[in-house]
Amino acid sequence: DALDLVRRQQETGLVFGVTYAYAAYTMVRQARAMVRSGALGALKQVHVEYFQEWALTPLSDAGAGAQWRIDPAVVGPAFTTGDIGTHCHHLGAFVCGRPVTRLRAEFHTLGPEKPLEDTAFMHVRYEGDIPGTIMISQVAAGTHCGIRLRVFGEKASLEWNQEEPELLHFRPFAEPARVLTRGEGSGIGVHAARFVHMPRGHPEALRDAWGNLYEELAIAIEARRAGRTIPEGLLEYPTVLDGALGVRFVEAAAASSKAGGVWLDCTLA
């Protein structure tokens, strides 16, 4: 079904966005631009984690939103991997500008009994054979929505945490660490600055990231309807292809775990 949507979008040219809203945070765009500019040097390793606790609630007490998420007839072969693992998969690839090509996964059910996994640990390889990890759990007591990205290069590293979204930690090798804050100037690049709506000290967070995403989609839709060409690199919203890659990621992870954690391809080729 996902590949059919990719085909239809390519045939029609319609705008098709996917709501990986973490990619629309100002400081995520800043991280992407810094990786692209070579601020980290050659990439060496990438780690993404996302821990939550809500699935520790007994299923009998969980709401409707929890019920469909753990129903294989609705969501397929995975629960947590599809729910939050896809965000990790996309975030790492988006910031690094490189897709995940292979993975090996271990699924676990560590909370109340349920038909699908609530925890998964994965080794992954990004394009260029760059190693990384994805760690996810929705039964990690004391955690909330801490999706965290760490990218290590030969010259420096970057770290971003969704629970402190206005901060981007930049740590050059053998130099003092720096903390970049969301706002105008002070090293913020043009790709991030256009998403700055309020001065420093007036916080922006998830709702603003959603607004940034919808803004890009609106620009794309309006330009298509008016027959206007959008400048190269202006819009970077997740597309139907990113959605299809997410589906492929979930299927590969589930199959890898079922086979005992073997390495599997997770590209669309």
pTM over cut 0.85? yes
DSSP β-ladder status, 156-161 and 264-265: unpaired
DSSP sequence for 174-190: TS--EEEESSSSTT--H
- Supply 146's token pair: 């801490």
Amino acid at 81: T
Q: What is the DSSP string of 63-132?
A: -HHHHHHT-HHHH-S-SHIIIIIHHHHHHHHHHHT--EEEEEEEEE--SS--SS-SEEEEEEEETTTEEE
Q: Report H helices in 109-196.
A: 190-193
Which residues 6+ apart lie within 8 Å of 80 measured at CB?
55, 116, 117, 118, 119, 120, 136, 137, 138
One pLDDT digit (tens) per residue for the chain, 269 residues = 999 999 999 999 999 999 999 999 999 999 999 999 999 999 999 999 999 999 999 877 777 878 899 999 999 999 999 999 999 999 999 999 999 999 999 999 999 999 999 999 999 999 999 999 999 999 999 999 999 999 999 999 999 999 999 999 999 999 999 999 999 887 899 989 999 999 999 999 999 999 999 999 999 999 999 999 999 989 999 999 999 999 999 999 999 999 999 999 999 97
Q: How many residues does the chain have?
A: 269
pLDDT at 58: 85
- Written as six digits, the tokens of 13 are 């040219």
Structural tokens at position 137: 């759990």
pLDDT at 185: 80
